[in-house]
């Protein structure tokens, strides 16, 4: 029995965890997902939701918040933790896959109470991300799995977003997907007019109604009332103003990514995963911290992405994107879900 440990604080961590669980189930494996925030009291969850909105509205606030954030596991309700530990033990969980470093504090307590278990730390980012940095070196034995390795300049493992083949280049729309990750963070909204002027149609993932400001843009949204700690499904997603659909198998925005010529976004780990499995190149915007800068550097070095500034200097040439797409098509990366089974 495998337990995948995610956090709803970042969809770039949570969604890869859901994808991993689905890929394991498809192969007949037994797996469940635990979300850290389900252990939190209601007051803490309300504060988290408020922070998400503040971080979306001002990227400077988000950057400052990342630096001062503490170990989120310290806010967990002890009774909820005890109940979860008992459930893991009763179900006979033999391997844990940790996608958020904050779980390591609790997992150490679990090992102290119930004995050793196999633990994989699955790094979605190409270097250690803040949640792992803040808890320090684990005191329990772990195996590290890297979905991107900035130091090695490689993608050692990956989690398939879909088993479908990438959409052929000739069948794609002259359309770009523009977003700021699960929290809608970053400077992505500042580039719509320039990209429209360059002749591209745009799919922009908005975070709230007041983001729907630019004529000629097709806006999509995640249901603002949904949070990862409410259910084990993917974010309900849809065209702004229309009913949201909660997809199975993978997240809804991946369908837009598969059809686009490029994704214009900050370089989050989940965004890199979408790029790899759709063979859709990344046009990289300002990163959310040093770890995302390393993600960008890795993608550029592999020939899978280009900075917005460099693409602009090349007059937004589609041929540049096609070369990156063709490089992505050649990627041959081991499937981590198969290794687990």
One digit per residue, pLDDT tens: the chain, 341 residues? 999 999 988 889 999 999 999 999 999 999 999 999 999 888 777 666 655 554 545 544 444 444 444 566 677 999 999 999 999 999 999 999 999 999 999 999 999 999 999 999 999 999 999 889 988 899 999 999 999 999 999 999 999 999 999 999 999 999 999 998 766 656 788 888 899 999 999 999 988 787 787 888 999 999 988 989 989 999 999 999 999 999 999 999 999 999 999 999 999 999 999 999 999 999 999 998 899 999 999 999 999 999 999 999 999 999 999 999 999 999 999 999 999 99
- pLDDT at residue 211, as a whole number: 78
CA distance 5 to 204: 30
Is the CB of residue 144 less than 8 Å from the CB of residue 123? yes
Q: Where are the beta strands (DSSP E) in 159-268?
A: 175-178, 201-206, 217-222, 237-239, 262-265
Model pLDDT, residue 61? 44
Residue 64: per-residue pLDDT: 44
pLDDT at residue number 32: 98
Q: For residue 142, count other CB atoms closer than 10 A to its CB.
A: 16
Quick count: other Cβ atoms within 10 Å of Cβ 248? 8
- The tokens describing 150, both together, are 């900035």
Distance CA 181, CA 222 (A): 11
CA dist 149 and 129 (Å) reads 12
**Are the C-beta atoms of 102 and 7 separated by less than 8 Å?**
yes
Which residues are CB-neighbours of 334 under 8 A, at least 6 positions away?
A: 156, 157, 158
Residue with tokens 């702004």: 240
Among residues 267, 261, 284, 264, the alpha carbon closest in space to that of 193 is found at: 264
The reply to whether the predicted model has a pTM over 0.85 is: yes
Residues 289, 131 contacting (CB under 8 angstroms): no
The set of residues, in sequence order, having a beta carbon less than 8 Å from that of 240 and lying 6+ positions away, is 206, 209, 212, 219, 220, 221
Give the span between the Cα atoms of 101 and 7, in whole angstroms.
Answer: 9
Distance CA 166, CA 328 (A): 10
Closest CA relative to residue 263, chosen from 191, 165, 212:
191
Give the position of tokens 């002890």: 78
pLDDT of residue 178: 95
Q: Hey, what domains does the chain have and what are their CATH numbers? A: 2-160 (3.40.50), 169-332 (3.40.50.2000)
């Amino acid at each position: 029995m495998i337990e995948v440990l995610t956090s709803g604080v970042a969809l770039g961590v949570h969604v890869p965890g859901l994808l991993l669980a689905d890929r394991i189930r498809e192969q007949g494996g037994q797996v469940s997902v635990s979300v850290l925030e389900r252990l939190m009291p209601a007051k803490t969850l309300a504060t988290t939701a408020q922070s998400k909105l503040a971080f979306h509205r001002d990227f400077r606030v988000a950057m400052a918040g990342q630096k001062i954030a503490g170990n989120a596991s310290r806010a967990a309700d002890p009774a909820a933790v005890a109940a979860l530990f008992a459930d893991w033990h009763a179900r006979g969980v033999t391997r844990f896959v940790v996608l958020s470093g904050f779980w390591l504090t609790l997992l150490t307590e679990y090992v102290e109470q119930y004995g050793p278990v196999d633990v994989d730390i699955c790094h979605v980012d190409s270097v250690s991300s803040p949640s792992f940095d803040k808890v320090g070196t684990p005191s329990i034995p772990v195996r590290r799995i890297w979905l991107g390795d900035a130091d090695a300049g490689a993608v050692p493992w990956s989690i398939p977003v879909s088993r479908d083949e990438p959409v052929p280049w000739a069948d794609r729309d002259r359309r770009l997907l523009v977003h700021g990750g699960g929290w809608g963070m970053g400077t992505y909204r500042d580039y719509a007019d320039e990209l429209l002027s360059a002749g591209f149609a745009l799919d922009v993932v908005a975070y709230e109604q007041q983001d729907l400001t630019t004529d000629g843009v097709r806006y999509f949204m995640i249901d603002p009332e949904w949070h990862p700690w409410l259910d084990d499904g993917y974010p309900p997603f849809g065209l702004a103003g229309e009913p949201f659909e909660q997809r199975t198998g993978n997240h809804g925005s991946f369908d837009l990514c598969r059809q686009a010529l490029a994704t214009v976004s900050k370089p989050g780990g989940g965004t890199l995963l979408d790029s790899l499995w759709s063979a859709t190149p990344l046009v990289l915007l300002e990163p959310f911290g040093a770890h995302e800068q390393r993600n960008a550097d890795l993608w550029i070095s592999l020939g899978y992405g280009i900075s917005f500034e460099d693409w602009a200097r090349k007059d937004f040439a589609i041929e540049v994107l096609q070369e990156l797409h063709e490089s992505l098509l050649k990627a041959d990366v081991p499937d981590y879900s198969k290794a687990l089974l």
